Amino acid sequence: MEYVHTPVLLEEVLQFLGPRGKNELMVDANTGEGGHSYAFLSRYPDLKIVCIDVDNAILEIAKKRLEKYADRIYFYSGWSNEFFADYPSELRRPDTFSLTWVAVFSTTRRAEGVLVSARMNIWI
């Protein structure tokens, strides 16, 4: 399968946001085709990820791509704020949160990737 999206700042996020302990949980709040999640799951064998996307068709593509890691993924089809508002009781508190999007600038017509990621130190 050919994927449309190239994961932005991939090596950087893999290095800086990789797990610091065992069995960490990451939230990929913009899973898209699953490029970032795939890279994290393949590099870090005990990392678990919540894969969220509001677009169910693209989440289905991610599910296929991430099939071999399915036992370490919790998929959620919907808006990320709704996921957090009704956080599943069976999941532990997440350690890392990642959000990506692509902006198209009207002056240059160039698409630029932007990635916002953070390790979570507070959980209210």
Ligand X SMILES: C[S@@+](CC[C@H](N)C(=O)[O-])C[C@H]1O[C@@H](n2cnc3c(N)ncnc32)[C@H](O)[C@@H]1O
Work out which of 23, 46, 68, 101 binds ligand X, going by CB under 6 A. Answer: 101
Work out which of 9, 55, 63, 84 binds ligand X, going by CB under 6 A. Answer: 55
CB-nearer residue toward ligand X: 46 or 101: 101
Q: Phi/psi of residue 57, each to 5°? A: -65, -40
CA-only gyration radius of the chain, Å = 14
In sequence order, the 6+-apart residues with CB closer than 8 A to the CB of 117 are 13, 16, 17, 96, 97, 98, 99
Q: Is 35 in the site for ligand X (CB under 6 A)?
A: yes
Stretch that binds ligand X, among 14-22, 27-35, 88-96, 103-111 (CB under 6 A): 27-35
State the alpha helices, DSSP H only, in the chain. Answer: 10-16, 35-43, 56-65, 80-85
Work out which of 19, 26, 34, 48 binds ligand X, going by CB under 6 A. Answer: 34
Residues at the interface with ligand X (CB under 6 A) = 5, 7, 29-30, 32-36, 52-55, 58, 79-80, 100-102
